[in-house]
Amino acid sequence: MVVSILGSQIIGIIPLGDIVFYMTSFNLFMFAAALAFTFIIAISKTETQVEAEFGSLGDREIKVAKKEFKFRRFLAIICGLATAGAMVTGDIFDFTLFVCLIGIVNIGIVGAVKQIDVLDSAFQYGLIAMIASTPLFVGASLILAATGTISILAINSLTYTTPMMLFGSILLFLGVAGETGVAPFFATKAEMFRTPGSPFLLIIHLSSLLVIVRVIEILLIINKPF
C-alpha cells in the first residue's frame, strides 16, 4: 500500500504499539538536522561574553561557571532530543507533549543565570508558555473529539474536514506559537538571549523554528486545503 502525505511518499513507519513514528523525506531531513545540531551543541564549549564598562575604556568578561555550564548543556541536549522527537512523531498527543517539554526546558536553560532582567523575562516567558499549554492541549482534544483519532496517518486518510477540526487546529497553532515563543509572543522571549553561554541558547531558536515548520505540516494534513 502506497501512502503519501502531502505529496511525499512514506519511507517507513516505526510501530511501537499505538505510538507510530512515520518517516517521509521531509520529516527525516528535519529529524537529522535537529540531531546534528544537538550533537554540535553537546560537544561545543561555552562562549565568554565581553561587556564594555560604562565610563571607562575597560572590558569585563562574563564567564559561565562549570557547574552551570554542565547543567545547561544537559538541558540543551534534552531540548534537542525533544525537537527531534517532535519531527518524526505520528501522533498529535505526542507532538503536544514534545512541544511542552521544549517549553519547560527553554525556561530551565535560562533559569540558572544571575542577571535579574533575564530572570524577569524568563518568568514572563514561563507565564506565556503555561497559558499557551491550554490552547495546545484543547486543540489536540478538539481534533480527537472531531475525528475520533489522534494518529496523523489515520487523519490523513479521512476525506472530510469539519469546522471543529479547523477550530481545533487553529487552537493547536496558537498553543505552539505561545509555547515556543514565536512572533506574537516573541517580546517575552527576546530578553532571554542576553544571558552568556551562547551555543546552548541557540537550541531555543532552532527548536522553535523546526517545531513551527512541523506544526504547519500537521495543520495541512488535518485540514487538507488542497
Partner 1 sequence: MILVPDVVSPVVVAIYSPAVFVGIIVALIGLFGISIEKNDLQVLILTDIVGVAMLIIVAAVGTDLAESLVLPGLVVELAEILAICEILMSREMRKTGKSVALIPTPLNFDMEVLQTAPVFIAVILVIYGAFLSGFTGGAIAGGGILFYVMSLTVRGVPSDLWEGIAGASGIAWCLWITGFLVLFVFPSYWLLGLMLAAFGVFIKVAFKAGLIGVMNREEFRKE
- Per CB under 8 A, residues contacting partner 1 are 16-17, 19, 93, 96-97, 100, 103-104, 107-108, 111-112, 114, 116, 119-120, 122-123, 126-127, 129-131, 133-134, 137-138, 140-142, 144-145, 147-148, 150, 160
Contact 137, 197 (CB under 8 A): no
Q: Give the nearest distance from C-beta 224 to partner 1 in angstroms.
A: 16
Rounded to 10 degrees, the C-alpha dihedral 200/31/189/75 comes to -40
State the cell numbers at 154: 489515520
Task: Please identify, using beta-carbon distances, which residue of 21 and 37 lies nearer to partner 1.
Answer: 21
Report DSSP state, residue 46.
P
* Cα distances (Å, whole numbers) of residue 141 to 57, 58, 166: 58, 57, 13
Task: Please identify, using beta-carbon distances, which residue of 76 and 150 lies nearer to partner 1.
Answer: 150
Beta bridge partners of 24: 10
Task: Please identify, using beta-carbon distances, which residue of 10 and 140 lies nearer to partner 1.
Answer: 140
Q: Give the nearest distance from C-beta 85 to partner 1 in angstroms.
A: 14
Q: Give the nearest distance from C-beta 186 to partner 1 in angstroms.
A: 19
Task: Please identify, using beta-carbon distances, which residue of 12 and 148 lies nearer to partner 1.
Answer: 148
Region of 24 (left: φ > 0; alpha: ψ -120 to 50; beta: rest) is beta
Task: Please identify, using beta-carbon distances, which residue of 128 and 206 lies nearer to partner 1.
Answer: 128
Task: Please identify, using beta-carbon distances, which residue of 30 and 207 lies nearer to partner 1.
Answer: 207
Q: Give the nearest distance from C-beta 114 to partner 1 in angstroms.
A: 6
- DSSP secondary structure, 68-88, as one string: HHHHHHHHHHHHHHHHHHHHH
The β-bridge relationship of strands 4-5 and 59-62 is unpaired
Q: Give the nearest distance from C-beta 36 to partner 1 in angstroms.
A: 26
Q: Give the nearest distance from C-beta 103 to partner 1 in angstroms.
A: 7
For cell 512572533, what's the residue? 183
